[in-house]
Structure 1
Amino acid sequence: MRPLTDAAGRQADPISDTPERAELRAELRRLIAATSPAAEVLRLDEQERFDDKLHEALRRLGVHAVGGHPDHGGIGDIRDQTAVIEELAAGPTSMAVHMVVQYMITHILGTNGSPEQREEWLDRLHTGAAKVSFALSEPAGGTDIARVMRTTARREGDHWLLSGQKTWISGALGADALVVLARTSPAEGSSVDGVTMFLVPAGSPGLQVRELPTVAVHGLDTCEVFFDDVAVPESAVVGAVGAGFRQVVATLNRERINAAAGAIGAASGALDAAVEYARGRAAFGSTLGSFQAVQHRLVDGALAIESARSLLARAAAVEAAGGRADLLSSMAKIAASEAAVKVTQDGMEILGGAGFSREFPMQRWFRDVRLWVFAPLANDMVRNYLGERLLELPRSF
């Protein structure tokens, strides 16, 4: 179920879609249908392969530059990014996850990178000629990563030496570089202090990547990354020494907004498929779609999607205007991810045996959307944050 439209087929909500953004959506739909139709997405998902053909088509379309630094070819803003991600997630969901990571990296480097880093990397990132992975989570900590971070970086002469391990890192196998968070000094007053961000070229001596077997998002590798005294120059520091975690926190609104867009897109694709199946599936002298219980499930799914989309539109509009979108982006992330879980669960049950078959896409959406319940932050922790910041209740963690 794509965004609601008016009688002329344009986007009905002026907050979320201008005519230009509506045309971007339409062009993406045409490109995806031609380059990565449902059968191709399923084939690559089964083979656990990245869609290089689609990536090249997206590169030619210029979507990697969306929301990027204007001095380096960036165009549009976070609202355009959400349109790109939503359209991708409705089909080749793994590519949507890839773009969430790339948009996060371009924002980090565009905001915190040195002139030399921006010159070297942003042009290539904006044209899709380079891929950069983001390495934060570790085996001992995901949400609590700043306090328990074991990856360290120490100065030796004019270089830094990185040692440690990161895990659940998306796209590390195919990356040209990794943005890595490492502790460079003991925490002083707060566990978020003393963490520094580094830009580490792939293939650096001492850096090893191992792909992890995951249940979903098979079109994008998820990896462990090991650092054994990986040497990087002083120029590899992104932003200020000791301020890396605070720099990352400043990007979380955009990551939550884009994650919500991905969940909404996947839920929309799954709902469309469930409605189409219900219309055509003969049962008891009629069709599944004629049964009230089935209709109610489908309608409730549409309500959940549109409710989440409204929150997403508000959050993205505030973020684009330079306002503080942390509460809205948090609510949008919860609403979107849980709408996606509901829609795909109902979709599996409506399709019955067809849902259980890997020849139908419902099972892929059912698996893929689970990612956004705990990434980029577990929904329980997001609720804790909202309890404290929105409702002004005592901190619960």
Structure 2
Amino acid sequence: MSDFTPLPVEQTEDQADLRAMVRELLADLATPERLSDHDEREAFDEDLYRALAEAGLVQLEGEVGGDAPSHAGQAIVLEELGATATSIGVSLVVQFMAVTLLSQHGTAEQRERYLSALYDGSQRAAFALTEPSGGTDVARAMQTKAVQRPDGGWVINGAKMWISGASDCGFMIVLARTSPIERSAVSGITMFLVPADTPGMTVSEMDTVAIHGLSTCEVGFADVVVPEEAVLGDVDRGFRQVIATLNGERLNAAAVALGIARGAQDAALDYVQSRHAFGRPIGGFQILQHRLVDGAVKIEAARGLLQRAARVADEGGDAETLSAMAKLASSDAATTVTEHGMRALGGSGLSREYSMQRFWRDARLYTFAPLTDEMMHNFIGEFYLKLPRSF
């Protein structure tokens, strides 16, 4: 084991207690053997997720009839999961988004039915937005449509793609076009709460290179009938309401990516201290030390941006630029550290015996989710540097 001692994390006493509780739970349930097993079998760890929910780590300080959990609390849980059970962390990003949307836009009946189930872990949500014909520009490309029935309710037809956890969720938040595009593509789209067993829905799992502990799916809608009370939020304003939550989703994506970087850095440090060449630990070679130092700096820089952004968001301030920076910095930290980690391990990096290859694969998700790093650059250039719009 490495003698490395990380810098102290800036956090309140309650936040420190939360982090300690998550680490204790994961030390017992997210062992390297268990993580490797679920990754190899491409299976969701139901027992681990249930334990998280039972420990209150989905609800945190949120309330069924009140606000969603704090951004700082979500980030702590997700960083710890990113450093261990990454796929569960990715799932929890989706759950926290569903919690936020239900807290902000759900009726009392919707919150009681769906939010309660999310908090106690009896159900998970899937967020059905992306389509085969469009990712970054999904509003303009959206072909899934919902048509109002004369006798009440809606009929949904279309297809979604790259939907995390759709194969074993309890319900989906489905975005569908309910009015034609006029001046703005983001108008005329509505959110619907659709139980997973609704007739007319089909789900098929996709074969992906990473995030093996959580399914990635194609979802089809063929004359799927939902009642009026399935509408979440305002008709024709669903996409705008989703955009308002993207700040939190960027923060949560940053937290998982930061965790991946930290987990990979720890794994690399352990390896270079135990592996010997030319009569000494390979951690004594300058090039490896420099790469590890670069990773450490990127991790600490990303954490600083993430904590600052979460604090501003929790205090009601404008954290959009900070969250974009945090996501970009964390994505860079994750891809850099895992790349350097694979080089440090050499041939061992290709072995599934070591966690580095899993971290390396999983880190790539956050170069394009929830928005691509290129779009983060565009956003920061336009809104922070005040440069002309570049797309």
Gaps of 5+ in 1: 6-10
Partner of residue 195 from structure 1, selected from 183, 186, 189: 189
1:154 aligned partner, one-letter code: V
1:244 aligned partner, one-letter code: G
Corresponding position of 1:373: 367
Q: Deviations over 1:169-210 (max 9, x none)?
A: 000011110000000001231010000000001111100001
Report if the CA contact (8 A) 1:69-1:107 is conserved.
no
Partner of residue 122 from structure 1, selected from 105, 115, 125: 115
1:85 paired to 2:78 = yes
Using the size of structure 2 for normalisation, the TM-score is 0.97
Identity %, equivalent residues = 51
Q: Secondary structure at the match of 2:58?
A: helix
1:204 paired to 2:198 = yes
What is the CA-CA distance between 1:70 and the residue it aligns to?
A: 5.9
1:320 paired to 2:314 = yes
Corresponding position of 2:135: 142
Partner of residue 4 from structure 1, selected from 2, 7, 13: 7
- Distance across 2 between alignment mates of 1:142 and 1:66: 31
2:41 aligned partner, one-letter code: Q
- Distance across 1 between alignment mates of 2:184 and 2:30: 47
1:329 paired to 2:323 = yes
Report if the CA contact (8 A) 1:173-1:221 is conserved.
yes
Would the alpha carbon gap of residues 18 and 70 (structure 1) be closer, same or farther in structure 2, given more than 3 Å must change? Answer: farther
Report if the CA contact (8 A) 2:65-2:103 is conserved.
no
1:364 paired to 2:355 = no
- Distance across 2 between alignment mates of 1:31 and 1:256: 25
Gaps of 5+ in 2: none
Q: Secondary structure at the match of 2:157?
A: strand
1:194 aligned partner, one-letter code: G
Using the size of structure 1 for normalisation, the TM-score is 0.95
Q: Which runs of 4+ in 1 moved over 6 A?
A: none
1:4 aligned partner, one-letter code: L
What is the CA-CA distance between 1:307 and the residue it aligns to?
A: 0.4
Alignment of 1:228-267 (within 5 A): 228-267=222-261
What is the CA-CA distance between 1:34 and the residue it aligns to?
A: 0.9
Alignment of 1:18-167 (within 5 A): 18-66=12-60, 68-69=62-63, 71=65, 76-156=69-149, 157-167=151-161
Q: Secondary structure at the match of 1:198?
A: strand
Q: Deviations over 1:296-355 (max 9, x none)?
A: 110110000100111101110111111111100001101100110000000000001111
Report if the CA contact (8 A) 1:68-1:107 is conserved.
no
What is the CA-CA distance between 1:33 and the residue it aligns to?
A: 1.5
- Distance across 1 between alignment mates of 2:336 and 2:376: 19
Report if the CA contact (8 A) 2:192-2:232 is conserved.
yes
Would the alpha carbon gap of residues 3 and 78 (structure 1) be closer, same or farther in structure 2, given more than 3 Å must change? Answer: farther
2:39 aligned partner, one-letter code: D
Corresponding position of 1:8: none
- Distance across 2 between alignment mates of 1:39 and 1:354: 17
Report if the CA contact (8 A) 1:263-1:369 is conserved.
yes
2:35 aligned partner, one-letter code: V
Report if the CA contact (8 A) 1:207-1:226 is conserved.
yes
Report if the CA contact (8 A) 1:67-1:81 is conserved.
no
What is the alpha-carbon root mean square deviation over aligned residues? 1.3
Q: Secondary structure at the match of 2:203?
A: strand
2:7 aligned partner, one-letter code: L
- Distance across 2 between alignment mates of 1:120 and 1:264: 33
Report if the CA contact (8 A) 2:341-2:356 is conserved.
yes
Corresponding position of 1:300: 294
